[in-house]
Amino acid sequence: MKLAAFACLCALSIAREAAALGVEVKDLRSAAMDVTASIELRDVLPDRFRQTVDRGGVVHLRIHIEVWERRPVWDRLVYPAVVRVYRLALTPSGRQFAIYDPDGSSTEHAAVPNPLQLAIRVGSPDRVASTARYYAKVIATLGTLAEREIDNAGDAVFGRPEESTGLGAFGRVVFKKVLEISDYLQSVSAQGISRNIAGGQILKP
């Protein structure tokens, strides 16, 4: 019972630490034949996740964007939902913070940007009417499996992999899977909705 209570307190503490993550949709704008959403993320690496990165781990940032047309009765989804997953980690030298895009490119920073600014393409401008009004919904989710922590915990309980045989090896596999699921559920999300933006403003050169 004491262990369970301690685990609950830890989970609540982690949730409070991560609650600082914030999302703001700054603008929708047509540029280079695409409509792009400009997003700002505040406190993108709360303490729990910053520690993971500082220890050489990777934090995944998942961005989910939907653009809707504002209507009197039922709003209309303009583009299929766009989902992009970024990797946040230290550079191989460990001296800088890097953001790895889904397309394989990366940007490097001396420290974690606050706010972190992202520009994400959502679709073609031919779906936007100048006389209509639009808004964007964004959900940002941080998560990590903390593989190194899981391996260290497994070593402490079942011994090192080369030393584990029979039930010990089986126990290590089950233990690792349980911890992976548990740690993944310690992810945190935040969402933001833009103001209503006129289609003419989005399409304005």
What are the tens digits of pLDDT across the range 23-43? Answer: 999 999 998 789 999 999 999
With 90 as the cut, is the pLDDT of residue 104 above it? no
Q: 121 and 202 share a domain?
A: yes
Q: 29 and 70 share a domain?
A: yes
Tell whether 16 is covered by a domain. Answer: no
Tell whether 5 is covered by a domain. Answer: no
Q: How far apart are CA 97 and CA 112, in angstroms?
A: 6
pLDDT digits (tens, 9 = 90+) for 47-100: 888 888 888 888 888 999 999 999 998 999 999 899 998 999 999 888 899 999
Q: 177 and 193 share a domain?
A: no
Tell whether 117 is covered by a domain. Answer: yes
pLDDT at residue 103, rounded to an integer: 84
Q: 93 and 175 share a domain?
A: no
With 60 as the cut, is the pLDDT of residue 111 above it? yes
Of 14, 22, 92, 84, whose CA–CA distance to 49 is shortest?
14
pLDDT at residue 18, rounded to an integer: 40
Torsion, Cα 33 115 146 181, to 10 degrees, reads -70
Q: How far apart are CA 15 and CA 25, in angstroms?
A: 23
Q: 65 and 119 share a domain?
A: yes
Range of the domain at 79: 21-142+189-205
- 22 in the Ramachandran plot: left (φ > 0), alpha (ψ -120 to 50) or beta? beta
Q: 76 and 163 share a domain?
A: no
pLDDT digits (tens, 9 = 90+) for 162-175: 444 444 444 444 44
Choose between 149 and 113: higher pLDDT. 113
Do residues 187 and 48 touch, judged by C-beta distance below 8 A?
Answer: no
pLDDT at residue 186, rounded to an integer: 63
Tell whether 60 is covered by a domain. Answer: yes
Do residues 179 and 156 touch, judged by C-beta distance below 8 A?
Answer: no
Tell whether 177 is covered by a domain. Answer: yes
The DSSP symbol for 114 reads: S
Q: 122 and 86 share a domain?
A: yes
Tell whether 68 is covered by a domain. Answer: yes
Tell whether 12 is covered by a domain. Answer: no
Provide the CA 13 distance to its chain's centre, in angstroms.
Answer: 20
Of 56, 61, 26, 74, whose CA–CA distance to 149 is shortest?
56
Q: Which residues pair with 59 in a beta bridge?
A: 88
pLDDT digits (tens, 9 = 90+) for 134-162: 999 999 988 875 444 444 433 433 344 44
